Amino acid sequence: MAMIQVNGLKKSFDGLQVLKGVNFSVDAGDVIAIIGPSGSGKSTLLRSLIGLETIDGGSITVDGASFVADGVYTDARSMRAITLKMGMVFQNFNLFPHYTVRKNCVKPLMMVKNVPEAEANALCDKLLAKVGLSDKAEQYPSHLSGGQQQRVAIARALMLNPEIMLFDEPTSALDPQLTGEVLSVIKQMAQEHMTMVVVTHEISFARDVASRIIFMDGGTVAQEGTPKQLLEESPSPRLAEFLGQVVR
């Protein structure tokens, strides 16, 4: 059974239709890279999965439980239970500036799942070590570089032990020399078989890490397949044009 099943997703903003009926599915262990030009609806799609956007039509099912069917949402409580299975990392990190790195990680877990402080701290230490930032635990986000902040954001999301991780253009706000450190963390997570959906402009990352690539254009899935299929063997004309435009 698919971890995520999306059918007929439609979404309009002020009369402009951004998603025009999107279908796709994500299996456990998949790493999906969503690529495409601006305005193609990539971010909107991702945000709809975790409930940051409300769709107008279609259905989303996560791990067998559906929180929206035919554009009709279930109650808030059920929806929250479902969306908590997913974690999200934002383009602009969205760390809490008034908390230290440690508090950023520990507080949400303590508040949401009532985990005792000692246990939360232990998990925090483990995850910070994983993203390579153990020595920054007592720093405030404003004292970290963009790449470091994003890695903290990843650790923070992982604290709640999500089954699926969503990344909304995780490196787009970073200086080129900092993207590497974030991408390698994501790569490591892929190797550990975390189910992930990554909206990105980093085509080489998509090629190396993704199990499937979805190319979105004009609000629909224009092409879908393995990296090999899309990028080497048979890119569609539109995809080829897009890839030609993306500066390597």
Partner 1 sequence: MDLNYVMATFARVGAGIGTTLKLFFITIVLSLPLGFLITLLERCRVAPLRVIAKTFVYLMRSTPLVLQLLFIYFGLPLLPGIGKYLELQRFTATIVGFVLNYAAYFAEIFRGGLLAVNQGQHEAAQVLGLTPAQTILHIVLPQMMRVAMPSIANETITLVKDTSLMFILAVPEVLQFAKSAVSSTGKTFPFVVAGVIYLVMNLIVTWALRRIEKKFEY
Partner 2 sequence: MGPAAAVTLEEIMKRTLCLILSALMIVTLLAACGGSAPAAASSAAAAESGSQPAADASSAAAGDNNKLIVGLDDQFPPMGFRNDKNEIVGFDVELAQTVGKRLGMEVVLTPIDWTTKELELNGGKVNVLWNGLTITDERKESMLMSPAYLANAQVIVVQKDSDIHSLKDLAGKVVGLQDTSSADDAYAQCSAFGTESQLVKAADNVSLFNDLKIGRIDAVVIDKVFADYYITENGEGKLRTLDDQLADEEYGIAFKKGNTELADKVLTELAAMVKDGTAAEISKKWFGEDRVIFKYSK
Where on the chain is the footprint of partner 2 (CB under 8 A)?
A: 50-54, 73, 76, 79-80
Of 113 and 228, nearer to partner 2 (C-beta) is 113
The strand pairing partners of 104, in sequence order, are none
Distance CA 137, CA 22 (A): 41
Q: Judged by CB under 8 A, does residue 156 bind partner 1?
A: yes
* The amino acid at 199: V
Parallel, antiparallel, or unpaired: how do β-strands 72-73 and 65-69 relate? antiparallel
Subset of residues 90 to 109 that bind partner 1, contact rule: CB under 8 A: 90, 92, 94-98, 107-108
Query: Which one of residues 13, 64, 78, 112 is an interface residue with partner 1 (CB under 8 A)?
Result: 112
Of 68 and 95, nearer to partner 1 (C-beta) is 95
**Positive or negative: CA dihedral 154, 173, 80, 19:** negative
- Both structure tokens of 113: 């799942």
- Both structure tokens of 95: 């760390």
Candidates 210, 153, 150, 156; CA nearest to 180 is 150
Q: Judged by CB under 8 A, does residue 63 bind partner 1?
A: no
| Site map (CB under 8 A) of partner 1, residues 21-50, x = contact | -----------------------------x
- Interacting residues toward partner 1 by CB under 8 A: 50-52, 80, 83-84, 86-88, 90, 92, 94-98, 107-108, 111-113, 140, 142, 156-157, 160
